A and B are shown apart, each in its own frame.
Chain A
Amino acid sequence: MDKDINIKVKVWRQNGPKDKGYFETFPLENISQGSSFLEMLDILNENLINEGKEPVVFDHDCREGICGMCSLYINGHPHGPDEGITTCQLHMRRFNDGDTITVEPWRSAGFPIIKDLIVDRTAFDKIIQAGGYVSVNTGSAVDANAIPIPRDDAEMAMDAAACIGCGACVAACKNGSAMLFVSAKVSQLALLPQGRVEATRRAKSMVAKMDELGFGNCTNTGACEVECPKNISISNIARLNREFLKAKFQD
């Protein structure tokens, strides 16, 4: 049964990108275990506003695990202790009465902190802009099944396309590497005939952009796939390696 619990929330506060950050601990009483983690933070912020203090700033949008906006490094895990979910899908029943919950922003050189718990993830947009697309001549819509695609390929492409670009992989990685994200975005297109046309250019330019933006080198620790809210497999990373090396050897 869900109970009401009393907890302490230890939150990272940082005024701006250049300011020095620090932890601030807030006690919260009578939080329903049925409420979501973000609702708990909403309650905290409402209290802070009522007390005339500045609320804790955090990212969120759809609150149903599909937009990739929420982040938060909770008690040593990106997106909290549960597997295969985003922070917005995390519920307070995962915590007990008297717990102190540590909430931190993603920490990585590629994701500089903007304020409190919000980090700048535009690096991912820049990587997508570098080649994460297919070029299609406009005109009347083409029949969806005009090109036959093997079922396994379609499934694998769909699995890769489940990536919501939240950045948990970078946050979990000891090397601050964005390989899981980039590999998913390369794989979802490389596996399909429509994406093959630009495959070599895409692999090269997306990896080049990733390196340029200061993400680290993957060492296959596998931390990313453990923490990924969409369970993206690191076999995508092997595929990206192959796509990239193939492209380079063709030059």
Chain B
Amino acid sequence: MSWLIKSSIGRKFVQSISGLFLILFLLFHMSMNLVLIFNYETYNFLANEILGANWWAIIGTGVIALGFVVHVIYAIILTLQNMKARGNDRYASSSKTKTTWSSKNMFVLGLFILLFLFLHLYQMWYQMQFKELFMIEGARHDGAQLVEEVFSQLWVVIIYVIAFIALWFHLTHGFWSALHSVGWNNTVWMKRLKVLGNIISTAISLGFIIVAIAIYLGYSNLLG
């Protein structure tokens, strides 16, 4: 299996699979966030009973974390190798080739999302699952109320929105590019996959952003 590290297509394969896996996680996360708009109690039930510090949730968290770590490490390896392959000399007339902006800035976008992720994990996950797991004082079981407190701060909402706009750009290229790299080879379907990628990235980004803004404006827990 060493080809997954040694070969360029092997490395891209790993990057693609981990990326697609993370898209599935984002879809799940976004769906669960939408619950906040309707009912805090249901959200807390999901957060504490279905997820929480249960063994399956801990394993799940571990798998997702592994997905992130693999995706980030491979991104660093691929980017460094590509910079080396490109060489030190830049074109004086720069590149005027028309390509999509996001496709050329995947690493920068990813880096920004990663920085946001650290803040996000500290604000949410550390307070809920981590503290409970390691018996640290002040673990929160009222996840919905915690989210409401966090999103009542305007600066958090602004950073949140910017991060998900970055994610939108990241996914519009990432989705079809990942399927391209795992060998989905079809001239008709490739166009459809690009459209599907746009739909999925818009749904994910919009879903997250709507919840944050709704909570900030007080339009949450509507059926509570």
User: In the complex, which of the residues A173, A227, A238 contacts B184, with contact meaning CB atoms closer than 8 Å?
Assistant: A238
A47 smallest CB distance to B (angstroms)? 23
**Do the beta carbons of B96 and A76 come within 8 Å of each other?**
yes
For the complex, what is the distance from the CA of A241 to the CA of B13, rounded to whole Å? 9
Residues in chain A near residue B10, CB distance under 8 A: 248
- Give the chain A neighbours of B180 by CB distance below 8 A: 220, 234, 237-238, 241
B181 in the interface (beta carbon within 8 A):
yes
| Among A23, A222, A227, A246, contact of B103 (Cβ-Cβ < 8 Å) | A222
Task: Considering the complex, give the chain B residue whose CB is closest to the CB of A21.
Answer: B89
Chain B residues within an 8 Å CB radius of A81 = 96
Flag whether B135 is at the interface (Cβ < 8 A).
no
**How long is the Cα–Cα vector from A242 to B85 in the complex, in angstroms?**
23
How many B residues have CB within 8 A of the partner chain?
43
Over the window 106-121 of chain A, the binary record of Cβ atoms lying under 8 Å from chain B Cβ atoms (1 yes, 0 no) is 0111100000000000
- Residue-by-residue, is A127-162 near B (CB-CB < 8 Å gives 1, otherwise 0)? 000000000000000000000000000000000000
List B contacts of A215 (CB < 8 A): 8, 85
- Residue on B with the closest CB to A171? B91
Distance in angstroms between the alpha carbons of A143 and B93 in the assembled complex? 51
Q: Which of B28-36, B37-45, B76-84, B162-170 contacts A (4 or more CB under 8 A)?
A: B76-84
In the assembled complex, A194 has its CB within 8 A of some CB on chain B: no
- Residues of chain B within 8 A (CB-CB) of A208 are 7
A239 on interface, CB distance cutoff 8 Å: yes
CB distance from B197 to the nearest CB of A (A): 12
Residue of chain B at shortest CB distance from A73: B91
CA distance A41 to B186 in the complex (A): 42
Interface residues of B in 48-81 (CB under 8 A from A): 78, 81
A30-38, A57-65, A89-97, A174-182: which lies at the interface: A174-182
CA distance A175 to B97 in the complex (A): 14
Q: How far is the CA of A245 from the CA of B16 in the complex (A)?
A: 13
A218 vs B49: C-alpha distance when bound (angstroms): 44
Could you tell me which A residues sit within 8 Å of B by CB distance?
Answer: 10, 12, 21, 23, 73-77, 81, 102, 104, 107-110, 172-177, 179, 207-208, 210-211, 214-223, 226-227, 233-235, 237-246, 248
Q: A211-B8, A238-B183 are in contact. List 4 more A-B contacts (CB 8 A).
A: A108-B85, A214-B84, A222-B103, A233-B187
